[in-house]
Amino acid sequence: MRRAGWLLAGLLLAGCHRVERADPASEGNGTTTPPPSSQGDGRTLRIFMWSDYIDPQVVKDFEKREGVRVVIDTFESNENMLAKLQGGGASYDLATPSNYVVQTMVRAQLLQPMDKAKLSHFGNVAAGFLNPNFDPGNTYTVPYQFAATGLAYNSGRYVPPEESWRLIFGPEDRVRFALLDDPREVIGAALKYLGHSVNSTDVEELRAARDLLRRTVRKRGFESFSGGPETRNKLLAGQIDLGQIYVGDLLQGAAEDRRLKVFLPREGTTISTDTLVLLRGSPNPALARRFVNYVLEPQVSAAISNYTYYGNPNRAAQPLLDPFLRAQKAFNPSAEDFSSGRVEFINELPRGAAPRLYDRIWTELKSR
Ligand code: SPD
């Protein structure tokens, strides 16, 4: 169970451990390029993952058990991850893409089959995460963690008058806020506020979302597009009043500072599952599969979620999860949340005009 202060732990670990953390101000580009001399030696595992997304002790234990070194570089968005992998130059064994970019990676020939027959603990995966629509038969992916996206605040400084995206997207311009540096999350939130699906491909709906977002980023209160951990730090420091955030990133902070709160806006929000994938260019695929199998062990899986405060897709790990986690409504959306559309999975967009429109909207917002 994770109880040490995450800030303190981050400071201590930054100096002495092999888990690399991205500088929040770097907007999540990878931080460490492993020396080419150690690649493919069967003794070094390289993982490209979302920041603040694993318990460092779990990594240390694996290194000790296997007598290997684990190097972790971090990213803050699927788009940054894809750009780095497609750009070549960095060779990782594993990555943690979200569900909705898995098929993009398959088509780009970035993945090799996970071969779940080689994973003796695969049977621990909860039924709801087996055979997902984004990866029939779990050919390429093992579910890692999941979370909905909410709006967070520091109740010691600001208490929102309602649980609505209106605080950000409405006409008033009194709160200082940050949006995630993540196109599907930001455009998805605007679509939800307007009463549409987060996966809309309707040109008129997307134009309305674009117009809303144009107005939103011109507000005086708009502070930044930020990754989740950066938004959490800005809330703690009082730099913003509200922040769009992956719920797990906020709860990591809330476990230490109970003034941090998060809610799922009443108009609805997004959810996504992050996965472990084996990269096609993996220098050490056998070691990588051993790591994935290790993560599937109930104690290891629970230790990761008890540290990161993200949703856990491992059936056998459920009894080992921190009660704080299980008590979070934002962490465990109900069946009704899904059926009503209050929480909606981000899916891959069908190929064609819609992805280009999303790209254009995002490029315009980022270059404002
Ligand atoms: N710090 C961990 C962030 C995990 C984010 N999950 C995926 C969100 C996809 N939009």
What superfamily in CATH does domain 148-270+333-366 come from?
Answer: Periplasmic binding protein-like II (3.40.190.10)
96 CB within 6 A, ligand 1: no
Cα 41 to ligand 1 centre (Å): 30
Mutate to test the pocket of ligand 1, among 79, 104, 246 (most ligand atoms within 8 A of CB): 246
In the numeric block, which tokens belong to residue 279? 């990269």
53 CB within 6 A, ligand 1: yes
Q: What is the rounded radius of gyration, in angstroms, for the C-alpha atoms of the chain?
A: 20
User: Which pLDDT does position 300 carry in this prediction?
Assistant: 98
pLDDT in tens, 33-61: 444 445 667 799 999 999 999 999 999 99
Report whether pLDDT(133) > 70.
Answer: yes
Report whether pLDDT(3) > 90.
Answer: no
Q: What is the mean pLDDT of residues 304-309?
A: 95
User: Which pLDDT does position 247 carry in this prediction?
Assistant: 93
pLDDT in tens, 200-236: 999 999 999 999 999 999 999 999 999 999 999 999 9
- 8 Å CB contact between 232 and 76: no
State whether CATH 3.40.190.10 applies to domain 9-146+273-326.
yes
User: Which pLDDT does position 39 carry in this prediction?
Assistant: 62
Model confidence at 21, pLDDT cuts 50, 70, 90, reads: very low
Mutate to test the pocket of ligand 1, among 21, 48, 53 (most ligand atoms within 8 A of CB): 53
pLDDT in tens, 345-359: 999 999 889 999 999
241 CB within 6 A, ligand 1: no
pLDDT in tens, 81-115: 999 999 987 799 999 999 999 999 999 999 999 99
- The atom of ligand 1 lying closest to the CA of 180 is 10
230 CB within 6 A, ligand 1: no
Q: Do domains 9-146+273-326 and 148-270+333-366 have the same CATH topology?
A: yes
**Where are the chain's structural domains?**
9-146+273-326, 148-270+333-366
Report whether pLDDT(170) > 80.
Answer: yes
In the numeric block, which tokens belong to residue 246? 């992956």
Burial of 267-289, coded b for 16+ CB within 10 Å and e otherwise, reads: bbbbbbbbbbbbbebbbbbebbb
Distance CA 316, CA 313 (A): 9
User: Which pLDDT does position 330 carry in this prediction?
Assistant: 66
Cα 50 to ligand 1 centre (Å): 6
272 CB within 6 A, ligand 1: yes
Query: How many angstroms separate the first and last alpha carbons of the chain?
Result: 43
User: Which pLDDT does position 331 carry in this prediction?
Assistant: 64
Full 3-state SS string of the chain: CCCCCHHHHHHHHHHHCCECCCCHHHCCCCCCCCCHHHCCCCCEEEEEEECCCCCHHHHHHHHHHHCCEEEEEEECCHHHHHHHHHHCCCCCCEECCEHHHHHHHHHCCCEECCCHHHCCCHHHECHHHCCCCCCHHHCCEEEEEEEEEEEEEECCCCCCCCCCCHHHHCCCCCCCEEEECCHHHHHHHHHHHCCCCCCCCCHHHHHHHHHHHHHHHCCCCEEEEECHHHHHHHHHCCCCCEEEEEHHHHHHHHCCCCCEEEECCCCCEEEEEEEEEEECCCCCHHHHHHHHHHHCCHHHHHHHHHHHCCECCEHHHHHHCCHHHHCCCCCCCCHHHHHCCCEEECCCCCCCHHHHHHHHHHHHHHCC
Mean pLDDT score of the chain: 88
145 CB within 6 A, ligand 1: no
User: Which pLDDT does position 160 carry in this prediction?
Assistant: 97
Residues annotated within a binding site for spermidine: 100, 182-185
User: Which pLDDT does position 163 carry in this prediction?
Assistant: 96
Report whether pLDDT(137) > 70.
Answer: yes
**Whole-structure pTM over 0.85, yes or no?**
yes
Nearest CA to ligand 1 atom 6: 274
- The atom of ligand 1 lying closest to the CA of 78 is 9
Distance CA 171, CA 151 (A): 18
Q: For tokens 């309707």, name the residue.
A: 202
Distance CA 102, CA 111 (A): 9
- 8 Å CB contact between 27 and 80: yes
Distance CA 119, CA 153 (A): 41
